[in-house]
Structure 1
Amino acid sequence: MPNKQNKTKLFVLILLPIISLLTGCEFKDIDKNVFVSMIGIDKSDDEDKPYKLTLKLYVPTSSFKQSPKPEYSYITQNGETLSEAIRLMESYSDKELEFGHSKLIVIGEDLLEEKTNEIMDFLLRRPDIQMISWVAVGRPSAEEVVKMVPQGENAAYPALFNYFDDIGTESQFIVTTYLFDFRRRLKEEGIDPVLPIIEVKKKESHFEVNKSLVLMDKKAPYELSSLYTQTFNILTLNAPVADLVINEEGQYFVAKINSMDSRHKVNIKDTNKIEIEIEVSFAGYISESKNPLNPQDLTYYNQLLKQEAEEKYTEFFTEMINTGYDPIGFGLEYKSRTLHNQRMSNEEWEEAYKNAEIKMTINSELKSTGAIQ
């Protein structure tokens, strides 16, 4: 029994000095923080301070009834680096800037060609910026996008978030790019990142998000039109639904696609010669038509849909191949299926990609001509 008591005393004597060395966590009251909603990064007019950083800050309120309309404050600062701009901003406020609730990062077009890697380095190194933040391009500038409050916006949740969070609008023209995926595509060879373009329509007081930019190292960004952005979303299965306009052989109708599948494969035909095999499957119904439709002619309408889709998608891929951009990731597909000691060099792949043959297969299944009552 004495031995047991001695052991207990010895354990306590050893434990007390260890406990005294432990430090408590630092705690800061929530009212000492100000939460950042959006981050805008532009190119400034000052050569010595090339970065122009704009932050959209939530204005705290005690209740929704007290402030039903959205209220924000803004801070804009130039800096030699983004970190310097933030440090200067901190001197403007008596509260700590909290980036943990920031959901959207908007980059001005002028910076995409020059400072993309430096911006990514900053965003990835800061532990308080979420990797699931959305990244977009601001037009005419990131500052104007961040500072605009459109009509009908609710308090505490910017309307711009609804474009990308999948609980608001679900448009076939909107590309959603996360920070972690943007970084992966920038670093990975064989696939090019695509960023949505947010345009400010001041007269109508709303945003327009229906175009996108494809980025590639050492090349100017390539703008995808609304049609090409829609095509990209369908082929990458980012669009839950889509409307396809068919204008063939005197028929003009709109096919509502509510189920789709897309597959692609890179076939090596000969030394430095490749064939890109693409198969796209559609299922849906006809939602609109300028001419009377006969349900018994669904096979014919399916053939028209197949013909129209083949033309549009072949045109899209031909344009991407001719310009050298690869937003779908055919280069990554090739690398994943080829042993490292049998792969082409990057230069050989780029040459083979520009001369690739396209084999397009469309499977369409229109189930009805719609319901008219």
Structure 2
Amino acid sequence: MRTFIRKGLLIFISLSLVFLSSCGFKDIDKRIFVMAIGIDLTENKEKPYKLTLKLAIASGALKGGQGGEKYTYVTMESENLAKAFRMMKTHVDKETDFGHSRIIIVGKSILDKDLRDVMDLIIRRRDIQMISWVGVGEPSAEKVLKTEPPSEMAGSISLPNFFSDNGVESSYIVSTFLFDLRRKMLESGIDPILPIIRADKSMKKFMVNKSIIAPKNNNNITLSSQETKIYNLLVNNSRKAEITINKNKMAFSVALFKTKAKYKIITAPNSEPVIKMKIKMVGIIEESNESVSPSLLKKYNKLVNQKTKKDVHQLLTKFQENNVDPLGFGLRYKATRLHTRDTYKEWTQMYPNVKFDVTVETSIKSTGTIE
């Protein structure tokens, strides 16, 4: 009886194998890897989207492993992005693999129209990593993708070095992950901010020192290099920032190696709402146009406090006047109120009348000179 059961089970398993699908694995020589994705808008109403892919050519395919082209590019215009992705497969002789794609660049025109439409497809595609960085390309996403600095190596593009903190470390650079962009696009009380990636005319150099706020109402606000630095100081506790002071004939720069900013939203009854922000900074004087004395560190601290307080207040006021909130004040308000009904509506009515009370404490540890 046991022998009969075993034979029957063996026959059943053998027949079941017929219905199993084959493996979907493809050898590496049958794949081509997408290193970056660029999306622009065209002036053609029938085909409004322009998709550009930066594809890596395996170095082993080059003669002797050196020389030749490191990348190839595929560009297509289409009425929608889903079709463009599908049609692009017919333009290359290998399967396009998005597993190594870490950069998504959108043109400025995408933000002016609606970023949600584009991000909806990108988020839905299971082969695009949620930890990809997103940026805005100038003059276009295509131009940025086709820019190849001399330091760029085959199979590894240079753009991730600006955002990963493994390469460039700068207080002028804003980094935004795809998953974080999606969260801020859907969450009320905070607006997404993206880095602006500029390519020079020779298409041999990147410049990443500005940013752009993309709120839900498409009222995009561009931040200068200085404003981007102040934003990073408030949000990311920048350790590579500098503060430059020009007072009368004296000028000096303070290199900051520690910063911390925190704030509270105070809504006392029968009084105007106030955001009290306290900023602490530690650094040293790294440059000056005249001799600086250690005995005057309190004076230098006071000058840095005044300058930073003025810059922070101007930036916060700019956010308020343009009705944008990249720092997430509205999100903090919703999270710190006991009642849960209409808290965001309360904040939208309150935000235009909020007063900012900024306090800065600077501790300059050294003048950077030896007596």
With the length of structure 2 as denominator, give the TM-score of the two structures. 0.93
Return the alpha-carbon distance in structure 1 between the equivalents of residues 205 and 149 of structure 2. 5
Report SS of the residue matched to 2:166.
coil
Q: Does the aligned pair in 2 maintain the 1:272–1:349 contact within 8 Å?
A: no
| Amino acid aligned to 1:301 | Y
Which moved further from structure 2: 116-125 or 153-162? 153-162
User: In the alignment, what sits opposite 2:174?
Assistant: 175
Structure 1, unpaired ranges of 5+:
none
Report SS of the residue matched to 1:328.
coil
Distance 1:271 1:53, change over 3 A: farther
Where do 1:341-352 residues align within 5 Å? Answer: 341=340, 343-346=342-345, 348-352=346-350
Q: 2:356 aligns with which of 355, 358, 363?
A: 358
Note the alpha carbon deviations across 1:252-296, whole angstroms, 9 max, x for none: 211110011111221113479421111111111111111211112
| Amino acid aligned to 2:66 | S
Return the alpha-carbon distance in structure 2 between the equivalents of residues 51 and 272 of structure 1. 50
**Following TM superposition, by how much is the alpha carbon of 1:156 offset from its aligned partner in structure 2, in angstroms?**
2.0
State, as a whole percentage, how many aligned pairs show the same letter.
Answer: 38
Which moved further from structure 2: 304-313 or 348-357? 348-357
Report SS of the residue matched to 1:220.
coil
Return the alpha-carbon distance in structure 2 between the equivalents of residues 106 and 338 of structure 1. 38
Q: 1:32 aligns with which of 26, 30, 33?
A: 30
Return the alpha-carbon distance in structure 1 between the equivalents of residues 170 and 214 of structure 2. 22
User: In the alignment, what sits opposite 1:105?
Assistant: 104
Q: Does the aligned pair in 2 maintain the 1:175–1:238 contact within 8 Å?
A: no
Q: Does the aligned pair in 2 maintain the 1:151–1:205 contact within 8 Å?
A: yes
**Following TM superposition, by how much is the alpha carbon of 1:21 offset from its aligned partner in structure 2, in angstroms?**
4.2
Distance 1:175 1:69, change over 3 A: farther
User: In the alignment, what sits opposite 1:245?
Assistant: 244
| Amino acid aligned to 2:349 | E
Matched positions, count: 370
User: In the alignment, what sits opposite 2:87?
Assistant: 88
Where do 1:53-132 residues align within 5 Å? Answer: 53-62=51-60, 66-67=65-66, 71-132=70-131
Which moved further from structure 2: 312-321 or 11-20? 11-20
Q: Does the aligned pair in 2 maintain the 1:39–1:102 contact within 8 Å?
A: yes
User: In the alignment, what sits opposite 1:43?
Assistant: 41
Distance 1:19 1:114, change over 3 A: same
| Amino acid aligned to 1:27 | F
**Following TM superposition, by how much is the alpha carbon of 1:12 offset from its aligned partner in structure 2, in angstroms?**
4.6
**Following TM superposition, by how much is the alpha carbon of 1:309 offset from its aligned partner in structure 2, in angstroms?**
0.9
Return the alpha-carbon distance in structure 1 between the equivalents of residues 213 and 133 of structure 2. 16
Where do 1:246-261 residues align within 5 Å? Answer: 246-248=245-247, 250-261=249-260
Distance 1:19 1:155, change over 3 A: closer
Q: Does the aligned pair in 1 maintain the 2:171–2:241 contact within 8 Å?
A: yes
Return the alpha-carbon distance in structure 2 between the equivalents of residues 287 and 218 of structure 1. 43
| Amino acid aligned to 2:214 | L
**Following TM superposition, by how much is the alpha carbon of 1:371 offset from its aligned partner in structure 2, in angstroms?**
3.7
Q: Does the aligned pair in 2 maintain the 1:272–1:344 contact within 8 Å?
A: no
User: In the alignment, what sits opposite 2:222?
Assistant: 223
Return the alpha-carbon distance in structure 2 between the equivalents of residues 223 and 194 of structure 1. 9
Q: Does the aligned pair in 2 maintain the 1:69–1:155 contact within 8 Å?
A: no
Return the alpha-carbon distance in structure 2 between the equivalents of residues 305 and 18 of structure 1. 76
Q: Does the aligned pair in 2 maintain the 1:69–1:153 contact within 8 Å?
A: no
Cα RMSD after superposing both structures: 2.2
Q: Does the aligned pair in 2 maintain the 1:255–1:287 contact within 8 Å?
A: yes
User: In the alignment, what sits opposite 1:278?
Assistant: 277
Return the alpha-carbon distance in structure 1 between the equivalents of residues 370 and 38 of structure 2. 48
1:300 partnered with 2:302: no
| Amino acid aligned to 2:353 | N
**Following TM superposition, by how much is the alpha carbon of 1:365 offset from its aligned partner in structure 2, in angstroms?**
1.1
Return the alpha-carbon distance in structure 1 between the equivalents of residues 177 and 89 of structure 2. 27
Return the alpha-carbon distance in structure 2 between the equivalents of residues 102 and 170 of structure 1. 22
Return the alpha-carbon distance in structure 1 between the equivalents of residues 357 and 57 of structure 2. 55
Which moved further from structure 2: 61-70 or 107-116? 61-70
Return the alpha-carbon distance in structure 1 between the equivalents of residues 11 and 258 of structure 2. 69
| Amino acid aligned to 1:367 | K
With the length of structure 1 as denominator, give the TM-score of the two structures. 0.92
**Following TM superposition, by how much is the alpha carbon of 1:61 offset from its aligned partner in structure 2, in angstroms?**
2.0
Q: Does the aligned pair in 2 maintain the 1:70–1:153 contact within 8 Å?
A: no
Return the alpha-carbon distance in structure 2 between the equivalents of residues 247 and 39 of structure 1. 43
Q: Does the aligned pair in 1 maintain the 2:237–2:260 contact within 8 Å?
A: no
Report SS of the residue matched to 1:195.
strand
Return the alpha-carbon distance in structure 2 between the equivalents of residues 161 and 233 of structure 1. 18
Q: Does the aligned pair in 1 maintain the 2:255–2:285 contact within 8 Å?
A: yes
**Following TM superposition, by how much is the alpha carbon of 1:28 offset from its aligned partner in structure 2, in angstroms?**
1.1
**Following TM superposition, by how much is the alpha carbon of 1:162 offset from its aligned partner in structure 2, in angstroms?**
1.5
Return the alpha-carbon distance in structure 1 between the equivalents of residues 338 and 155 of structure 2. 51
